[in-house]
Amino acid sequence: MTKKNKIEKLIPFLDELFPQVGCELIYHKDYELVIAVMLSAQTTDASVNAVTPVLFSTYSSLEELANAKLEDVENIIHSIGLYKNKAKNVIGIAQVLLRDFNGVVPSDKDLLQTLPGVGNKTAGVVRAEFFKIPDLPVDTHILRISKRLGLANLEDDAYEVEMKLKKIIDEDRYIKTHHQLIHFGRYFCTARNPQCEKCKIKEICNKK
């Protein structure tokens, strides 16, 4: 079965399971989304949502964040993974946005990646979520699902998987499929105890 054939079976199942999905990170401003996505690396959205309301109420503007004390930011986000480095990035993102972009988050992917802690995946999420620009960033859930379903090779990294998915998924479905695959991996085809007995696409899955 070709990868395109597999996608043709997968998409209807995703639409059935998750007809209406979206980003689960809490944010109210463009820079809050950038920071929240950066913070979510190697931790859960729920963990990020537990600290960002405190962070953004303590520092209610980019200017306040840019001038925050590193130790204070660390104390607020200490419950999430890699908090020391992420605290530096929080302050750095605010400083770079003010210095280079007049306080406005850019939509260009290359420019987004000039922000501290922002790589290809984070930039893609910001573009898709905030600017509604078709993109299909790959997180750990999508990476795992793609390899289980044989849509990518086991040795592929996130960027390579992204490029392969974009070749077999229609561009107008990038954003929705991105969210659906995350939900699929987070709540159905989980890493340790996937719901294989309820799965309608078992015949295209490599998991034994």
Residues 2-36: b if buried by 16+ CB within 10 A, e if exposed: ebeebbeebbebbeebbeebebebebeebbbbbbb
Q: How many helices (H) and strands (E) does the chain have?
A: 11, 0
Tell me which of 3, 6, 86, 121 is the catalytic residue. Answer: 121
Task: Please report, as a single letter, which amino acid is at residue 147.
Answer: K
**Under a CB-based contact definition with an 8 Å cutoff, are residues 103 and 97 in contact?**
yes
* Phi, psi torsion values for 41, nearest 5 degrees: -60, 130
- Helix (H) / strand (E) element for 135: namely none
**Under a CB-based contact definition with an 8 Å cutoff, are residues 56 and 32 in contact?**
yes
* Phi, psi torsion values for 24, nearest 5 degrees: -95, 0
Tell me which of 6, 30, 139, 176 is the catalytic residue. Answer: 139
User: Does the annotation mark 166 as catalytic?
Assistant: no
User: Does the annotation mark 139 as catalytic?
Assistant: yes
**Under a CB-based contact definition with an 8 Å cutoff, are residues 179 and 18 in contact?**
yes
Q: Tell me the catalytic residues.
A: 121, 139
